[in-house]
Amino acid sequence: MIREKMVPDTKKSELEQIAEISSQYVKDCIQCTKCTAGCPASASMDILPHQVIRFLQLGQLDKVLESKTIWNCASCFTCAARCPKNVDLAKLIEAVRLTIIRRAGNNRLKTDDVPGKIDDNMPQQAIVSAFRKYNK
């Protein structure tokens, strides 16, 4: 018999969206804490990297959404490189950030708005990335 944490229906859709956006399966994490041990930004985090995954495993998305950790992540991919189960925490955190943006209703980028938002020093990759994130 496999024990599995039941997730409330109100949060299940957001958790499914995070899994879909990140293409990561949080249940693969074995809580070895190698991600936390290697994280250069963990000193400034209120929830440690392995705890973020644990909260997502338990369906406690609100604790993750309210933390400073998701904004302090440097997306350096050290956690992904160290993970023995190939769980990419940086991708999960980016998906959580997108969930917050989508909750606020700011997840659409219109072509007409782009010229006003572009700075001459902005890398072209940032513009393409913005279209990928906000044009869905």
Segment 19-48, tens digit of pLDDT: 988 999 999 999 999 999 999 999 989 999
Residue listed under structure tokens 């290697």: 38
Give yes or no: residues 32 and 84 share one domain. yes
Read off the pTM.
0.69
Give yes or no: residues 78 and 27 share one domain. yes
Has residue 4 been placed in a domain? no
Has residue 41 been placed in a domain? yes
Closest CA to 54 of 8, 101, 5, 99: 5
Extract the tokens encoding 133.
Answer: 């994130």
Give yes or no: residues 16 and 56 share one domain. yes
The residue segments making up the domain with residue 86 are: 9-105
- Domain count for the chain: 2
- Which pLDDT value is given to residue 32? 95
Give yes or no: residues 31 and 48 share one domain. yes
Has residue 2 been placed in a domain? no
